[in-house]
């Protein structure tokens, strides 16, 4: 039997050689922190050990049993999943709609829209969250005054961050505001890469704009949509800054906690670093499961097509 040709073997290794420097840097920045996170989650690690105390006792899965048996953890997990799903759906809807809009407007409005969107994307999370809190402030914010001026009763001095659902809605708006530009620009670039004759042929066949998007553009944009969807899932599932700033650390009595904020409270506010690390490992496992499951589903659909 003849082995693989030398040229083919060399060609198969060439992409990995180009990726090796980036993989080395990313691996060095990612593997060690994840290892430390997992290690601490199996130990009894408190403020005494942070201050240089004796090595901690090995607790095995006790920290995981503690958080999985905590009713508050289950509530926070459910709230995080629902909140992240709403953010992802809204971000994709706004980003894709504006990407299609960019293909239908003239150059000057297109430039203005892209600059405005990129400005929102480039705004630091703390700054953007602070601005949104001011806009919806019950005493000085212009939003309540505008809504009351339009004749909507109940919005004069309305405290958006006091209610659980209104606070989550406010944070969702801020998350979508700072996230949709990535989706918009990426999907717009993907649309521009679609051959014009394909879209013209669909239009000549009598397809509506919605049918063209659903049956022609969306399948051709599948690789782009996979990237923006997975990126949005990862970003929105681990939202921290917006929740922490806009709800003052998780809302009244923790009504607006997400897993990231909950882990922060356990690790740093309560000095239960092992429990906070266990929550972080659970979050990592959930994101890996969602990502791999989503990729498997897309691959299966592609094979069926």
Cβ-based neighbour number of residue 141 at 10 Å: 17
Q: Kindly state the average pLDDT of the residues 222-249.
A: 91
Q: How many domains does the chain have?
A: 1
Q: How far is CA 150 from the centre of its chain?
A: 34
Q: Residue 299: its pLDDT value, please?
A: 76
- Is position 100 within any domain? yes
pLDDT in tens, 103-158: 889 999 999 999 999 999 999 999 999 999 999 999 889 999 999 888 888 888 89
**Pairwise CA distance, residues 129 & 175, whole Å:** 9
Distant-in-sequence, close-in-space partners of 217: CB < 8 Å, separation ≥ 6: 191, 194, 199
Domain that holds residue 201: 70-256
pLDDT higher than 90, residue 3 = no
- Is position 32 within any domain? no
- Is position 218 within any domain? yes
Nearest in space to 171 (alpha carbons), one of 255, 228, 113, 234? 255
- Is position 261 within any domain? no
Distant-in-sequence, close-in-space partners of 102: CB < 8 Å, separation ≥ 6: 110, 113, 114, 184, 188
Q: Kindly state the average pLDDT of the residues 57-78.
A: 91
Given 3-state DSSP classes, what are the helix, strand and coil percentages for the chain, each rounded to the nearest 5? 75, 0, 25
- Is position 102 within any domain? yes
Is residue 95 within 8 Å of residue 228, measured between CB atoms? yes
Output the 3-class SS for 50-84: HCCCCCCCECCCHHHHHHHCCHHHHHHHHHHHHHH
pLDDT higher than 70, residue 35 = yes
Average pLDDT, rounded, for the chain: 88
Which segment of 33-42, 210-219, 224-233 scores lowest on mean pLDDT?
210-219
Q: Residue 213: its pLDDT value, please?
A: 81
Which CATH number covers residue 165? 1.10.3720.10
188 CB-contact burial (10 Å; exposed 0-12 / middle 13-18 / buried 19+): buried
**Pairwise CA distance, residues 131 & 143, whole Å:** 12
Nearest in space to 128 (alpha carbons), one of 241, 260, 15, 264? 241
In this prediction, residue 6 has a pLDDT band, given cuts at 50, 70 and 90, of low
**Pairwise CA distance, residues 40 & 57, whole Å:** 10
**Pairwise CA distance, residues 241 & 1, whole Å:** 60
Q: Residue 215: its pLDDT value, please?
A: 85
- Is position 286 within any domain? no
pTM of the model: 0.86
- Is position 145 within any domain? yes
- Is position 196 within any domain? yes
Is residue 280 within 8 Å of residue 40, measured between CB atoms? no
């Amino acid at each position: 039997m003849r082995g693989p040709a030398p040229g083919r073997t060399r060609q198969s290794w060439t992409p990995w050689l180009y990726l090796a420097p980036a993989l080395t840097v990313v691996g060095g920045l990612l593997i060690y922190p994840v290892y430390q996170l997992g290690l601490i989650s199996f130990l009894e690690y408190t403020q005494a050990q942070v201050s240089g105390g004796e090595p901690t006792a090995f607790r095995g899965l006790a920290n995981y049993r503690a958080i999985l048996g905590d009713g508050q953890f289950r509530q926070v997990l459910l709230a995080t999943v629902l909140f992240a799903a709403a953010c992802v759906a809204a971000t994709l809807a706004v980003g894709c709609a504006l990407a299609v809009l960019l293909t239908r407007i003239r150059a000057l409005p297109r430039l203005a829209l892209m600059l405005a969107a990129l400005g929102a994307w480039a705004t630091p999370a703390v700054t953007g969250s602070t601005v949104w809190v001011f806009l919806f402030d019950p005493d000085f914010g212009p939003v309540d005054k505008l809504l009351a001026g339009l004749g909507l009763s109940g919005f004069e001095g309305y405290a958006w961050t006091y209610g659980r659902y209104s606070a989550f809605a406010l944070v969702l708006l801020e998350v979508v505001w700072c996230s949709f530009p990535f989706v918009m620009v990426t999907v717009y670039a993907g649309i521009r890469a679609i051959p014009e004759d394909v879209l013209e042929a669909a239009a000549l066949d009598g397809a509506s704009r919605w049918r063209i998007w659903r049956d022609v553009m969306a399948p051709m944009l599948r690789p782009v949509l996979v990237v923006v969807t997975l990126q949005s899932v990862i970003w929105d599932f681990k939202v921290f800054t917006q929740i922490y700033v806009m709800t003052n650390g998780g809302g009244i009595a923790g009504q607006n906690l997400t897993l990231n904020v909950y882990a922060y409270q356990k690790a740093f506010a309560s000095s239960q670093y092992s429990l906070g690390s266990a929550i972080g490992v659970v979050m990592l496992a959930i994101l890996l499961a969602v990502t791999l499951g989503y990729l498997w589903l897309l691959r299966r659909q592609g094979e069926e097509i």
